Every structure is written in structure tokens, then in C-alpha cells.
Amino acid sequence: DCDTLMDREYSAGSATPFLPFTTQHVYQGLTLSHTHTLSLSLQRADGCQGGLMDYAFQFVQQNGLDTETDYPYTGTQGTCDKRRMNRVVTRIDGYVDVPANDEAALVEAVSRQPVSVAIQANHPNFQLYTGGVFSDESCGTQLDHGVLVAGYGTDEEGGDYWIMKNSWGEMWGEGGYMKMKMGVGPEGICGIAKMASHPTKHGADPPAPPPTPPGPGPKPGPPEVVCNQFQKCKAPATCCCMFELGETCVAYACCPYDDGVCCADKKSCCPNGTECNVTAGTCDKDGMSVPRFLLV
């Protein structure tokens, strides 16, 4: 179901293809291929540059999907693997667009299944979210990122919130999820109610195809960032020294930002282009402040 997999999009802006197969999990219990949708729907979307959810749904309806095991995600721009083009383990019958700017309609849809939505995700407070109910209404409504609304809930003070599943890995937010405040204008917080849709599935799937013959294998993933001969970080990341003996760093921590700023307290870091304010516990830039990322 929607809680069994946390996808890892990171630097590839390929959130759109993650959405149709993630909602399809609910129907099938299958781990479906990101790359099948990503590489074969480039004519209407933009591959690792993103695209509209409905384009991906249309592709799955017309072409079906392979499994993630047979057609694994690599996180890099590429072209379709013709050996896997006709391997279909499931397809959808169609999709439904939830009425725009109507949170009540979105609640009704989410009560039945996870729903793909578009939001604005480029605000620093959004990107540096670590927990709690996100309520920053300044995050904007200029849609630039696709995510999944997996459910909703109510906090201890009676405030309602969405449970949003992102595609940035488990290190982001609350294990890859974010709670987002409901009732923020007709468009919803970060535009969450502006563009929502979900697949429909009623018919049976085709017979299981035979395995794809072995190929040359996937291309190497992103390189590791080497801190020293014993410690490495998964790219994109920055090695931040936490403990020194003399002039030698003997213990590093991984800052999740590419070319991030390691703070002088050796306990935190900030995004590139910001300044560490150790006293205030923030990352500062142009009069704006966001919380630092704590390494420990």
C-alpha cells in the first residue's frame, strides 16, 4: 500500500512518473516500474524535468507498466529500453480529475485511495521541513512538483491536515512524509487542491509475460562523496567534519545538500548559498531564515 515504499527522486526531477504507479500500488500490491513511464512518455512530459500527472496516467492506460524489478529506476535521463517496451504486468482503465480548488472533493477522493497532486515545492521552509504540521502559507501556489496525498488526520488541537508522501527519500520530512495544514484558501496550502487526479482500475490484468533477457546492466548510479578512507556519503551530499584531532578530521557526518555549508558548531549544516547562524540556529540569506539541518 501507500506506506510500504518510499521512493527516492532526489536530483532527478522525475516526480510525475512516480505518481501513477504509486497510486496503482493500492489496486495491485505490485512494485511497478518508474522508468517504464519515465522513459516512454518523454514526448509529452520532460523525463527528469517533470511533467503533468495526467500524461503519465494516459501512458499507463494505453501502454501498461512493467515491474520495478524487471525495469529498475536509475535516477538518470535516458531513453526507453526496447526489450521491455511490451512487458506489461498491469494497466489502468482510466483516471479521474478531482474538481480543482475544492478540498472537500479532495477529501472524498482521498478517503477511497491515494491521490496524485501538484504543489509548489521550491520554498526553503518546505524543502527543509523536518516534522509537525506544515502551515507556512507563503509557500505559494505555482505548481512545480508532483506528490501523493496518502491520507488526512487531525492534530491534538483539532486542526485538520493532509498526509503527503514525497519522492525525496526517507531522510526528508517525517520518514519521507509531510503533514500539511488543511483549510488554507480554496487552492489549499502550496496549491495542493489545484490539480489532483487518480487512476481507475476495474478490469483484469494481462497474463504475466516471460522475464526480459539479461542486458548489459544498469548504468552506474551517482558517485559517492568520499570523506576519508573510511567514511563516504551518498551523492548529492557534503561531508561535514564533526570531530578533529589536531588538524585531522576523524569523524564526518553527511549533510544532505550538494555543496552544502558546514556550520562552525560542527553539529549542523545549511544549503549552498546561505550562511550559518549558529546563535539563532538558522540558515540565513537575503533576510530570510530557515532552520539548520542537524547532523546529530
By mean pLDDT, which of 1-5, 109-113, 225-229 is the weakest? 1-5
Side chain identity, residue 105 = A
Question: Does residue 124 have a cis peptide bond before it, meaning omega lies within 30 degrees of 0?
Answer: no
Confidence tier at 65 by pLDDT (50, 70, 90): confident
Residue pLDDT, tens place only, 167-176: 888 888 999 9
Give strand pairing partners of 238.
255
Q: What is the pLDDT of residue 140?
A: 94
Note the pLDDT of residue 60: 82
Is the distance from CB of 10 to CB of 168 less than 8 angstroms?
yes
pLDDT digits (tens, 9 = 90+) for 252-288: 999 999 899 999 999 999 999 999 999 999 999 988 8
Say what the pLDDT of residue 27 is: 39
pLDDT at residue 146 above 60?
yes
Measured on CA atoms in the order 42, 44, 50, 56, is the torsion positive or negative?
A: negative
Q: What is the model's pLDDT at position 115? A: 93
Residue 23 in this model has a pLDDT that exceeds 50 = no
pLDDT surpasses 70 at 16: no
The arithmetic mean of pLDDT across residues 202-216, rounded, is 72
Crossing angle of helices 15-28 and 53-63, in 10° steps, is 50
Partner residues linked to 119 by β-bridges: 145
**What Cα–Cα distance (Å) separates residue 62 from each residue in 11, 45, 94, 158, 268?**
29, 15, 9, 43, 48
SS3 state at 139: helix
* Average pLDDT over every residue of 98-117: 95
Backbone angles phi, psi at 90, to 5 degrees: -160, 160
Task: Name the residue among 270, 272, 250 with its Cα closest to residue 259.
Answer: 272
- CA 257 to mean position of chain CA atoms: 16
Report the pLDDT value the prediction gives residue 84, as an integer from 0 to 100: 62
Q: Which residue, 38, 94, 44, is CA-closest to 68? A: 38
Model pLDDT, residue 216: 66
Amino acid at 135: S
Share of the chain above pLDDT 70, in %: 71
Q: How far apart are CA 243 and CA 188, in angstroms?
A: 44
Half-sphere exposure for 128 (CA within 13 Å, toward CB):
22
Report how far apart, in Å, the C-alpha atoms of 54 and of each of 40, 92, 120, 135, 138 are: 14, 12, 17, 28, 27
Question: Tell me, what's the pLDDT at 37?
Answer: 46
Q: How far apart are CA 204 and CA 30, in angstroms?
A: 14
Half-sphere exposure of 129 (CA within 13 A, CB side): 27
Give the model's pLDDT for residue 77: 55
Average pLDDT of span 143-158: 92
pLDDT in tens, 3-15: 333 343 333 334 4
Please give the distance of CA 130 from its chain centroid, rounded to a whole number: 14
List 192's β-bridge partners, or say none. none
pLDDT of 179 strictly over 60: yes
Q: Which domains does the chain have, with CATH numbers?
A: 15-200 (3.90.70.10), 224-294 (no CATH)
Q: Residue 157 has what pLDDT?
A: 93
